[in-house]
Structure 1
Amino acid sequence: SAAMPWSALEQALSARLSADPLRGGRPALPIRLMAGLLYLKHAYALSDEAVCARWLENPYWQFFTGEVFFQTRLPCDPSSLTRWRQRLGEAGMEELLAQTINAAKAMKAVDVRELSRVIVDSTVQEKAIAHPTDSRLLEVARRKLVMRCKRHGLTLRQSYEREGPSLSRQAGRYAHAKQFKRMRRVLRRQRTLLGRVIRDIGRNLQTLEDTTQPQMREWLERAERLWRQRPKDKHKLYALHAPEVECIGKGKARRPYEFGVKVGIAVTAKKGLIVGAR
């Protein structure tokens, strides 16, 4: 904890995390606390919820994030870590990585000469998504659109709340029995239902409030993209909540295809200190 340049980190990130006084709200949490939680999260491969729970019972972690006395309450809501990462952006996360390199040099854990020669490799950062079958994606798209219509008070001519889940289960049974002709017939019906819901929302989109239209339009575009795509198309949509997910094959015997994003990592040749990631 003493080797980390917390003051330099706070100074570098304060401009990105400055609060708008006109918007009001509660005061921002300390930068050291949030940055320390992110460091601990990635060091121990924990989720946002798990790192907050372990911080609560670990006095060493609390001291690392700047606490003087033992705390008995959660440091923050786990969703605050997500919003904090979004506000930091790519440049802010690179600053967090740069400060770890500075700390390693200050502790003499790595020689400065080692930084002149690095090894660059790529891997797949998997996303927490279900296996993207056509039947499941079509049903999820229909259900998400119907749910948002109910939330914003938009009345649909028909929501297919009974037929949609039934068709999804039916497609799964046909696929398991290798009755692919029947499965494709069910998929065509699912695609038809999703198209009806999309067109119904498109006709009534202007009746929504101006503040809710952009969000509804975004989900409508994703559902329409899913409705149009076919099995052999390129740049397919594999998850509605994570459109950046790609199907990547790295030639692995146990896992020929992985669903996520491609990540490039640069490490020092001798001690394996990560000096760059994108």
Structure 2
Amino acid sequence: MKHSIDKQGKNGKDKHVSIDSTPQEKNITYPTGSKLAKKIIDRCVKKAKKSRITLRRSYKRTSKQLLRDTYNATHPKRRKKASAAKRKLKTIAGRLVRELERKLPEGDYAKELELYKKVLAQEQNSKNKIYSLHEPEVYCMSKGKAHKKYEYGCKASVVLTQNTEVIVVAMTFKTNVYDGHTLPKVLEQVGRLTNKATKTATVDRGIKASKLLVIHKY
């Protein structure tokens, strides 16, 4: 990024910038406990086959049918059956995880099995939930959009020079921090890459002005 800014010459050294933060969505399916439990079952069966371990049952057909039973869970006539299917999927997933822990050599897939146990232990109101097995760092963001209440990914900030429209910073955050709390890190990164202190920053109304910064809101 610094090399591309330096190529812009004076255009990349503007002291007046615009900052915007936005969710960067990851390529994951809409997360539900049933989907995650089904994936854990499939992964456990695959790991057992790869390690040449014989499971008591693979639950391949059973888990597939149970996942179908969870569909349309809000319908009054399907609510009871869907709830039972969700519980059964979690039970089967936990059973396979424990069986692998017993039969696998110590240390093999330990990190993955701990991840599976954490997923199965989380409840609807749990904090720091895991929404994807292949992207466990994903978190849930609510930006108040009418058409999309929740978004799953990570928060990203982009900084653009106001007069020359050169992108000088594009960075992501590992935790779901408040937009205003991202400003110090973003401005520090701007100074590091441009070797210029930011004089003014324009942000959206979701960010409250800091006492240490001169900020214009648009």
CA contact (8 A) 2:12 2:164 kept: no
CA RMSD between the two structures: 1.7
- Which protein is richer in strand relative to its size? 2
Give 2:125's aligned amino acid. Answer: K
Shift of residue 181, structure 1, vs aligned partner: 3.0
Deviations 1:74-95 (CA, angstroms, capped at 9, x unpaired): xxxxxxxxxxxxxxxxxxxxxx
- Report the residue type matching 1:165 in the other structure: K
Letter in 2 for 1:98: K
Tell me the CA shift for residue 234 of structure 1: 1.4
Give the counterpart letter for 1:243 in structure 2: P
Matched, 1:103 2:7: yes
SS of residue matched to 2:133: coil
Tell me which of 103, 116, 121 is aligned to 2:20: 121
* Residue 269 (structure 1) aligned with residue 168 (structure 2): no
Q: Secondary structure at the match of 1:188?
A: helix
Contact 2:25–2:154, Cα closer than 8 Å, also in 1: yes
SS of the residue corresponding to residue 162 of structure 1 reads helix
1:176 Cα deviation (Å)?
A: 5.9
Residue 152 of structure 1: aligned partner:
51
Seen in structure 2, the aligned counterparts of structure 1 residues 254 and 206 have a Cα distance that, compared at 3 Å, is same
Q: Give the Å deviation of 1:111.
A: 5.7
After the TM superposition, which segments of 4 or more aligned residues of structure 1 sit over 4 Å from their partners?
none
Secondary structure, aligned partner of 2:130 = coil
Structure-2 residue corresponding to 1:180: 79
Indicate the percent of aligned positions where both proteins have the same amino acid: 34
Indicate the SS of the match to 2:8.
Answer: helix
Unmatched segments (≥5 aa) in structure 1: 1-96
Conserved 8 A contact 1:267-1:273: yes
Q: Higher relative CO (CA 8 A, sep ≥ 6), structure 1 or 2? A: 2
Determine which of 187, 190, 197 is the counterpart of 2:89.
190
| Residue in structure 1 matched with residue 144 of structure 2 by the alignment | 251
Tell me whether 1:138 sits opposite 2:37 in the alignment: yes
Q: Are residue 230 (structure 1) and residue 123 (structure 2) matched?
A: yes
Q: How many residues align?
A: 170
Judge conservation of contact 2:73–2:83 (CA < 8 Å) in 1.
no
Q: How far off is 1:136 after superposition? A: 1.1
Counterpart-to-counterpart distance in 2, 1:218 and 1:235? 17
| Aligned counterparts of 2:123 and 2:170: Cα–Cα separation in 1 | 34
Which structure is higher in helix share?
Answer: 1
Name the SS for the 1:183 alignment partner: helix
With structure 2 as the length reference, what TM-score do the two structures score?
Answer: 0.72
How many angstroms does 1:204 deviate by? Answer: 1.3
Q: TM-score, normalised by structure 1?
A: 0.57
Contact 1:145 1:219 in 2 (8 A): no
What's the counterpart of residue 166 of structure 1?
65
User: Residue in 1 aligned with 2:194?
Assistant: none
Could you tell me which runs of 5 or more consecutive residues in structure 2 were left unpaired when the two chains were aligned: 172-218
